[in-house]
Amino acid sequence: MAEYTWLPKPLKFEEYDNDQSRITDAAYAIFRNDFIDSFPECLEKKVIPNPNLRPDGREECFWHIISQEYQKTRVFNVNRCEHINWSRTIIENLGNNDVIHWKSHHRRSKAGKKDWRLKIAISNFSYLIILRELATSFILITAYPVMDVHTITKLYHEYQNAVNLT
């Protein structure tokens, strides 16, 4: 992953004794500070977490940020968890040349309706944030490092297509 000097240093799993529970608690403290106790702004709208809570009392989107889908189940992902402190910083640096954004339609599976998603990425597409656009705010859906070259290529083409439409 390329170095962007303005991004905070990721958490390090080893510094939490390779203990999933300890790093998850540390990541949640960052998430809570960045998206619950205060809200970043994006394109003059607040960014708020999806209010759905899991049985542990933490927001569903927090779990989505620190986990990855594997065989139709979400499992904890160390790399995603370590980079949780990048989300707010990237959102707040949207005017920076290192940060790009585009809109895309997203089909909501239950109703079959489409809504708009704002995708924000650092310029090499190695970190992605997805927000659902509402009239007065954005809902944080997820944010994660993109490690797969195929996905980076797909995001690049999606961005190029969106830019060419404007």
- Lowest mean pLDDT across 21-25, 70-74, 154-158: 70-74
For residue 107, tell me if it sits in a domain: yes
pTM, to two decimals:
0.92
> Is a pLDDT exceeding 90 seen at residue 111?
no
Residue 91 main-chain phi, psi, to 5 deg: -60, -45
Using alpha carbons, select from 163, 42, 153, 34 the residue that is nearest to residue 95: 42
For residue 4, tell me if it sits in a domain: no
In which domain, by residue range, is 114 found? 13-165
User: For residue 120, what pLDDT is reported?
Assistant: 98
> Is a pLDDT exceeding 60 seen at residue 109?
no
Going along 22-146, which residue ranges are E strands?
A: 41-42, 45-49, 67-70, 73-76, 99-107, 114-122, 127-133, 137-145
- Domains in the chain: how many in total? 1
User: For residue 37, what pLDDT is reported?
Assistant: 96
Using alpha carbons, select from 109, 146, 112, 108 the residue that is nearest to residue 127: 146
